[in-house]
Structure 1
Amino acid sequence: MLKSAYDNRQFNHIKLANGLRVLLVQDPNSIKSACSITFNVGHFDDDKDCHGISHLLEHMLFLGNSNYPRPNEFNDFVSTHGGCVNALTGTEYTSFFYDIACEYEQQALIHLRAMFDKPLFNPALIEKEINAIDSEFLLKQKDDLRRLYQVHKETCNPNHPFSQFSVGNKETFAPFTVEQLQQKLQRLFHGFYQPQNACLCLVSQHDLSITEGYVRKLFSDWTGNCKLTRDAQPALYLASNLGVQINILPLQKAKRMILTFALPEQRTHYRSKPLSVLSHILGDEGKGGLLHFYKAQDWATNLSAGGGIEGSTFKDFNINLQLTDKGITHSDAVITALFSYIQLIKDCGIEPWRIKETATLNQLMWDFPDQAKAIDEASHFSQAMFEYPIHHLVAGEHILDKPDVGIVLQMLEFFCPQNMRIKAVNPSVNVTQTAKWYQTPYSVESISTQRIKHFMSGQWRSSFMLPKANQFLPTCKTSQPVNKNYVLPKKIVCENGLDFWYGQDHKFKQPKGDCFLTFDCPAINEGVQLTTAKRLWVALLNEKLNQKYYQANLAGMHFHFYPHQGGFSLQTNGFSANQLEFCTNLLTKIVIHEDFSSSFAQVKAKQYQGLSNTVLNKPINRLFTTLAVIMQQQNQASSDMIQVMENLTLDDVESTKTKLLNQFHLEGMMYGDWSQEEANQVSVDIKAFRKRHKHSQKIHRGVADIRHNKAISFEVECQHKDPAVVIYFQAPDASLKNVALTILAEQLLATPFFNQLRTEQQLGYLVGSGYIPYNQHPGIGFYIQSPQHSAEYLIDAIHLFLQQITENIDQFNHIWDPLKKGVIKQLMEKDTNLSMKSQRLWMAIGNQDTAFSYNIRMTKTIEEIDFSALKSYLIALVSRQGFGEIILYSASSTQTLLRFPTEVITNIQHFKSNTQYI
């Protein structure tokens, strides 16, 4: 198999006698093993009279088989041995994937094999899982992406399986008895879940011969029992589905236009990648490009080119625009400008250097990727085996070794009004009908001949120029020799208001690096007015920088400029050549006066819209966002920032920037492929920059102290009708032992909490728990969103679960040792790429772990904790001895105040101004 010269993984592809195709990957950087098996079956194969049956089958395979009859036994095994498991039903593929601590690799494979041997399809569990799927469906009722997707389905060829309802719900399953559904599941399972219809990928640090032995031993006796049969697919679109405008009324304050062009399948062109070439040209954000023009006209603020649904016989190419109010009223002119630009491409032709540049960018990303986690590698490869020949399995996503101008121009011919679908998504559209399932209002109308002529008038052609060659492509340079004294970062500058660290990577040996600069500004304590204006300033500057450095981002040199609790941060990462100069230039841009007048209205409107849309998020998201606001001293609520944002002026932004930069503490780190001489030069520049401003100390990031006698509660208003609850327990202190106990307790409770409240009690689809530290202070959160039960009922259920689990905690004694080992494995997990390593080291500095020994100390602490200590911890949590408890809930319109004895927060700002902070 073709692989990059820099790829240190080993690959072996085998095909068993039963037809199962297997890719074995030996990855020395992965501390976990991961496996994914993908079947060439999805909702396209649903029974015509029972939409969602493939999705139900995916769920049922986790709920018991002849070897492991207990529901969720595989999930429980994986989660208590340092891993996670999940599955996905798509249009044409269904995948099951997991990762796990390496020493349990073989046992996990045994569980996986058993899933596809003799599933039980227990009738009682079928009924329960239908409830779970219905909850999943109801959860997405307010999701605009899902609602938009359903309109897409209803406006394509009704005979194509894409038009079918993929999720399923109580209504689609209701016409059938449980026995009939059981028969449908069996028929679908035996028809498609066969070895010759599957591809498996196993990623491990073990030698390939060892993993091949596992797989052959476990999967060779898996026999297929019938021939695979499926009908050929008709065309995705009828003639009447093209050359149309589809108006869609959103729930959120969206102002989008999606221009879709129907194309033939693209897998046969994987070595030429014509759409990648077109995406680079159409999506260019530099001067002379489409987005630059739209912004200048105040028509659009964002453009992306190239997404869209894809299958084995079809491909959509989307140009997705975020419009302004003016853009909505000039929507036909927006489209005319697009076709003017397309005509320019046709007139100029596709110069060969453009394809070569795309190939060079692809090669850079292939040679020096930010390597994915093992579970993501396995998932990708198990599907890729269906789509690429074996010798290009690893290379297929990146290879462009057959450049072909003709194919690019051939694809461009599909970009015409007659082959276009206009989706207008905004609150002012006229609608005449309602999409099924998600009740999305929409309408469809043909594009008139007159409009087509207008689109092709070419009146904007002179406003455009095609992108110039990318000046940021990195030059090859020899990696710097590594000084062992800097393998861990060392502080090379320490003076009033400035700390700067430098380190060299010795593991990944890539020509890459990361630079971090964080500003802690005392002005941030002024409150919501300054926080909101800071957010707007950062957005305005990002707007300028994104346009200026768009090609740098394409060439693998990235920047991130963002606000945080204490002030703001700048990070650059990617190829090390020229990055230090890049970072210094960005630092200069932060300080100098920028004229934001031309973009102020657009960017402010976009920020206002983003803040407004947070109110429409699903209840669980709203509750967790509110929890973070309550718990963190400098965090501000979106509802408060909306009111401020509406009235902000350019002068407010300028004065806020002046306040922030007037006095600050600056801390930075550079880590990667740079010499000590380069680090010294950067530190000189940063010291000179720092001396031009007043210095201060770091900002204390306070955490609300809720360790009171009485629990605290707050009702969060939500647009979604489903009641939801988050109960958060704050640990007594932030000692290593309490952090360790909090992590272990959450790991122990997570699986039974999910099994009891979701699988058995069917309280809702969104049920779970999490370890949630706020500014390093540990805590545990439990959450449920339910379409059936009141918030009070859900609170009772969580409290009852904790009470009963604590009383019966000894039943978990047998998993205590593997659970501890699993947590330790996660703590000691290797970094899979340089950016991950840099982020970890930078976070350690931010947490004052300047010896970079936290994980080692935490591991030792966990090893010393016995089961009795965990029992005492949980007893104290349930009785709230030293713990804090806060209950956040969203209620249905009929809900009254909670009957629980809690301290009720009526106003968050008032609560924060009167609380104590840790």
Structure 2
Amino acid sequence: MLKSAYDIRQFNHIELANGLRILLIQDPNCAKSACSVTFNVGHFNDDKDCHGISHLLEHMLFLGNEEFAEVNAFNDFIATHGGSINALTGTEYSSYFYEIAAEYEQQALAHLYAMLSKPSFCEALIEKEINAIDAEFLLKQKDDLRRLYQVHKETCNPAHPFSQFSVGNHQTFKPFTPLQLKQKLQRLFERFYQPQNACLCLISQQPLSVIEESVRQQFSNWQSKGKFTSEPLPSLYLEHNLGVQINILPLQKARRMILTFALPQQHTHYRSKPLNVLSHILGDEGEGGLLHFYKTKNWATSLSAGGGIEGSTFKDFNINLQLTDEGIQYADQVITALFSYIHLIKENSIETWRIEETATLNQLMWDFPDQAKPIDEACHYSQAMFEYPPQHIIAGDYLLDKPAVDIVLEMLGFFYPKNMRIKTVNPCVKTTHKAKWYDTPYSAEPIKPARLNSFLSGNWKSNFALPQANQFLPPCKPVKPISVEFVLPVHIINENGLDIWYGQDDKFHQPKGDCFLTFDCQTVNEGIQLTTAKMLWVALLNEKLKQKYYQANLAGMHFHFYPHQGGFSLQTNGFSANQLEFCTNLLTQIVANKDFSSSFSQVKAKQYQRLSSALLNKPINRLFSKLSVLMQQQNHAPSEMSHIMQNLTPDDIGVAKEKLLSQFYLEGLMYGDWSAEEAYKFSADIKKFRMKHNTCDKVYRGVTDIRHSKAISYQVECQHKDPAVVIYFQAPDASLKNVALTILAEQLIATPFFNQLRTEQQLGYLVGSGYIPYNQHPGIGFYIQSPHHPAEYLIEAIHLFLQQIIENINQFRHVWDSLKKGVMKQLMEKDTNLSMKSQRLWMAIGNQDKTFTYSAQMTQTILDIDFSQLKAYLIALVSRQGFGEAILYSSGQYGSISYKTEVITDIQRFKSSSQYL
């Protein structure tokens, strides 16, 4: 099995006698075992008269089987043992995946096998789960991406199963009795849920021989249910589905144009990857590229090339553009310019060095990836096993060992007007139809031949230049020797207004690193005006820097420049060679750049749209966003910032920048593959820079104290008919013990809360809880979004649930030890990649954990807590002894609540009179 020379994992691919294909991975760095099973079945296989049946089947598999009859038994087992579980139903694949503490690997496999081989399909539960799917469907009613997707379905070949409604809802299932649905589920299951139609991936710390024995023990007895067959698919597009103009009216103030070219399937070209090569050229953001040209014309603000739906027999290649108002007016010129650029590519052919460069970039990303979580990797590989032969399962996504100019040019041959679909998404379009299910207004009509021909008549070629060779490809140098002194970060500069830390990675052995610089600026205390101007300043600089360093980003050297409560931060990460110099150059440009007029109106419009679109977010997101504003002194509401954003000028940005840099505290960390000599040299440069500016202390990040008032409530405006509620409990203090108790309480409550309020009471699709610390002060949040019940009902349901938890608290004694064990494992969890480790160490520095022992201290604290202490904590929470309570809600189609709380009508006024922790 082909793997990277730097990959320390061990792999084995086996096939059982029943046809089940299995990929076993021994990963010494994985914190938990992870497993995924993928079946070659999806909504393309739905019954023609019952759309969504595959999705319903996915849900029903979790609701009991012959071996484990209890509803959600698998979910509960996983949650109780420090893991997580999920599933997805796609077009042609369905996957079931989980992670769990390593010692429960065997039991989890037993649950998985029982779920996939002996489901109950209980009729009484079918109706309940249809309610959950309907709630999931209703949740997406205001999702523009889902609404756009439905228009796509309605404008392709109606005989192709892509055109079918994949989610399902009350209407699609209503014609059938629970018994009839059970029979449909059983038929679908019997036909497709067979071992020879499945691929399993298991990732574990244990030796391959051990995990192979575990899998064989569980799955060798899985019986095939008969000969497996699949039907050929028709063409995705008929002739009249191409060369069309599709206009779509969005909910949000989008101004998009998506140009789609219909291509054949790409699986057979995985070793030459022609579309990767074309994406690099068409998506280039440097000078001379398409996006640069569009920006100079003020036609578009962003461009991505290469996305699009894909299946076993088709592939869409999308050019996705965010247009300006002017770009909407010149839409045909935008398209004409694209074809001029395509003509330039064809004229120059595809130089072999471009394919070699793509192959080099792929090799770098394969050799030195930012390792994904094992659960994500397991899910990916279980699907990849259908896409690639066994020897290329690991390499397939990166492999480019058969470069072929002719295949790239063959694919480019599909980029012509008659093979194109133009999707225009903006508030000004005229529409004639409404898409089913989501009521999306749209129109679709063929493009006249004269207009198609005009797209090829442009004379923009002289404005373009194909991308130059990438100058940022890192040299292949060995990793620096490790010094024991620096395995944990060391404080190498500790002066007034400046703290710099440096450490070396001794675990991942990659030629990479992360460099963090954060600026705390006293002027943020001026309030919302300065905060909004800061946001725009950062966005304007990002616009310039991202174009300038586009190729650096491609070559695996990245930067992140972003605002935060106390000021702003600059982070670089990726390959360590030249990265510290890169960081210094970025810092110089951040300070030196004084001209903010370039692309000012474009960037400002984009920021304004982002802030003003917040109202259209789904209710739960809106509530948590408002809670963050309510609870944090330096946070401001997007709606209020949008009003200020409208009136900002380039001069305002210049003034804000000078204020921010006039006085600041600077803290930084270098962690990764750098020698001490490099670190000290970089620190000296930072020190020189620091000495040119005045110093100040760290900015105080206040947390609103709501502990000693009665419960507070705030109604959040939201353009969605679903009511939603978030109830947040603020813990009495931020001591280690209270943090531990808050985490344990949330972990204990999470599963029964979900089971009772979502599965049993069917209050909505979005139901859950979470540990929510604000600036290190602990708290717990409970949330429900419901299509069927008013906010007041949801609030009472949450309170009633908590009261019942207290009354029945002793029933949880039997899971107490395993719960504690699971939480401790999470705290001591190994980092899965270098960036995760760097980020953890950087957060520790920010949280004043300068000995990097917080996790160990917290683990010991949890170990010392007994069940009676947790019980006392929960009783105090429910009776609000020392706890604060905030209720945020959106009423949706119902009116305001009448609940005994202190009602907040103006958040800013409330915050100005609040005390802060």
Range class of TM-score, shorter chain: over 0.9
> How many Å apart are 1:550 and its aligned residue?
0.1
Deviation readout 1:273-304 (Å, 9 max, x if unpaired): 00000000000000000000000000000000
Matched, 1:868 2:868: yes
Q: Is the 8 A contact 2:723 2:894 kept in 1?
A: no
In structure 2, distance between residues paired with 1:597 and 1:792: 50
Please, which moves more after superposition, 595-604 or 161-170?
Answer: 595-604
In structure 1, distance between residues paired with 2:193 and 2:662: 65
Number of the residue aligned with 1:304: 304
Q: Is the 8 A contact 1:31 1:830 kept in 2?
A: yes
Number of the residue aligned with 1:901: 900
> How many Å apart are 1:31 and its aligned residue?
1.6
In structure 2, distance between residues paired with 1:361 and 1:596: 34
Please, which moves more after superposition, 834-843 or 114-123?
Answer: 114-123
Q: How do residues 311-390 of structure 1 correspond to structure 2 at under 5 angstroms? A: 311-390=311-390
In structure 1, distance between residues paired with 2:124 and 2:782: 27
Output the amino acid matched with 1:465: A
In structure 1, distance between residues paired with 2:439 and 2:537: 39
Q: How do residues 903-918 of structure 1 correspond to structure 2 at under 5 angstroms? A: 903-918=902-917
In structure 2, distance between residues paired with 1:498 and 1:815: 48
Deviation readout 1:240-289 (Å, 9 max, x if unpaired): 00000100000000000000000000000000000000000000000000
In structure 1, distance between residues paired with 2:570 and 2:635: 19
Deviation readout 1:680-731 (Å, 9 max, x if unpaired): 1011100100000000000111100000241000000000010000000000
Matched, 1:779 2:742: no
Number of the residue aligned with 1:447: 447
RMSD: 0.6
Number of the residue aligned with 2:124: 124
Q: Is the 8 A contact 1:5 1:367 kept in 2?
A: yes
In structure 2, distance between residues paired with 1:598 and 1:527: 26
In structure 2, distance between residues paired with 1:504 and 1:840: 14
Number of the residue aligned with 2:521: 521
Number of the residue aligned with 1:193: 193
Output the amino acid matched with 1:370: D
In structure 2, distance between residues paired with 1:520 and 1:47: 59
Number of the residue aligned with 1:836: 836
> How many Å apart are 1:317 and its aligned residue?
0.3
In structure 2, distance between residues paired with 1:820 and 1:450: 71
Number of the residue aligned with 1:114: 114
Matched, 1:882 2:882: yes
Output the amino acid matched with 1:901: K
Q: Is the 8 A contact 1:343 1:458 kept in 2?
A: no
Number of the residue aligned with 1:404: 404
Q: Is the 8 A contact 2:514 2:572 kept in 1?
A: yes
Q: Is the 8 A contact 1:492 1:500 kept in 2?
A: yes
In structure 2, distance between residues paired with 1:318 and 1:389: 28
Number of the residue aligned with 2:466: 466
> How many Å apart are 1:199 and its aligned residue?
0.2
* 3-state SS in 2 of match to 1:342: helix
Matched, 1:172 2:149: no
> How many Å apart are 1:452 and its aligned residue?
1.3
In structure 2, distance between residues paired with 1:287 and 1:545: 12
Matched, 1:63 2:44: no
Number of the residue aligned with 1:435: 435
* 3-state SS in 1 of match to 2:616: coil
In structure 2, distance between residues paired with 1:431 and 1:826: 52
Q: Is the 8 A contact 1:340 1:461 kept in 2?
A: yes
Deviation readout 1:620-677 (Å, 9 max, x if unpaired): 0000000000000000100110110000001100000000000000000101111111
Number of the residue aligned with 1:640: 640
Number of the residue aligned with 1:269: 269
Deviation readout 1:563-586 (Å, 9 max, x if unpaired): 000000000000000001100000
Matched, 1:546 2:546: yes
In structure 1, distance between residues paired with 2:706 and 2:50: 50
Number of the residue aligned with 2:754: 754
Output the amino acid matched with 2:303: L
Number of the residue aligned with 2:224: 224
Runs of 4+ in 1 over 6 A off after TM superposition: none
Q: Is the 8 A contact 2:724 2:892 kept in 1?
A: no
Number of the residue aligned with 2:704: 704
> How many Å apart are 1:893 and its aligned residue?
4.2
Number of the residue aligned with 1:136: 136
In structure 1, distance between residues paired with 2:161 and 2:817: 49
Number of the residue aligned with 2:848: 848
Deviation readout 1:302-355 (Å, 9 max, x if unpaired): 000000000000000000000000000000000000000000000000000000
> How many Å apart are 1:227 and its aligned residue?
1.5
Q: How do residues 241-280 of structure 1 correspond to structure 2 at under 5 angstroms? A: 241-280=241-280
In structure 2, distance between residues paired with 1:824 and 1:291: 49
TM-score (norm 1): 1.00
> How many Å apart are 1:450 and its aligned residue?
1.3
Q: Where does structure 1 lack aligned partners over 5 or more consecutive residues?
A: none
Q: How do residues 61-100 of structure 1 correspond to structure 2 at under 5 angstroms? A: 61-100=61-100
Deviation readout 1:133-190 (Å, 9 max, x if unpaired): 0000000000000000000000000000000000000000000111100000000000
> How many Å apart are 1:594 and its aligned residue?
3.3
In structure 1, distance between residues paired with 2:201 and 2:682: 45
Output the amino acid matched with 1:718: C
> How many Å apart are 1:894 and its aligned residue?
3.6
Q: How do residues 657-806 of structure 1 correspond to structure 2 at under 5 angstroms? A: 657-806=657-806
Q: Is the 8 A contact 1:137 1:168 kept in 2?
A: yes
Give the aligned length: 917
Output the amino acid matched with 1:605: A
In structure 1, distance between residues paired with 2:85 and 2:778: 25
Q: Where does structure 2 lack aligned partners over 5 or more consecutive residues?
A: none
> How many Å apart are 1:225 and its aligned residue?
1.2
Output the amino acid matched with 1:46: D
In structure 2, distance between residues paired with 1:169 and 1:264: 32
* 3-state SS in 2 of match to 1:722: coil
Output the amino acid matched with 1:410: E
Output the amino acid matched with 1:180: Q
> How many Å apart are 1:117 and its aligned residue?
2.1
In structure 2, distance between residues paired with 1:858 and 1:141: 43
Output the amino acid matched with 1:903: E
In structure 2, distance between residues paired with 1:570 and 1:894: 45
Output the amino acid matched with 1:572: T
* 3-state SS in 2 of match to 1:179: helix
In structure 1, distance between residues paired with 2:608 and 2:84: 38
Q: Is the 8 A contact 2:714 2:904 kept in 1?
A: yes
> How many Å apart are 1:377 and its aligned residue?
1.1
Output the amino acid matched with 1:775: N
Deviation readout 1:789-843 (Å, 9 max, x if unpaired): 0000000000000000111011011000111111111111100110000000000
* 3-state SS in 1 of match to 2:707: coil
> How many Å apart are 1:593 and its aligned residue?
2.8
In structure 2, distance between residues paired with 1:306 and 1:711: 51
Number of the residue aligned with 1:233: 233
Q: Is the 8 A contact 2:596 2:653 kept in 1?
A: no
Q: Is the 8 A contact 1:432 1:441 kept in 2?
A: yes
Output the amino acid matched with 2:581: E
* 3-state SS in 2 of match to 1:492: strand
In structure 1, distance between residues paired with 2:449 and 2:544: 39
In structure 1, distance between residues paired with 2:171 and 2:190: 25
Q: How do residues 285-296 of structure 1 correspond to structure 2 at under 5 angstroms? A: 285-296=285-296
* 3-state SS in 1 of match to 2:117: coil
> How many Å apart are 1:471 and its aligned residue?
0.2
Q: Is the 8 A contact 2:733 2:777 kept in 1?
A: yes
Q: Is the 8 A contact 1:253 1:609 kept in 2?
A: yes
Q: How do residues 574-593 of structure 1 correspond to structure 2 at under 5 angstroms? A: 574-593=574-593
> How many Å apart are 1:899 and its aligned residue?
2.2
TM-score (norm 2): 1.00
In structure 2, distance between residues paired with 1:117 and 1:21: 16
* 3-state SS in 2 of match to 1:916: coil
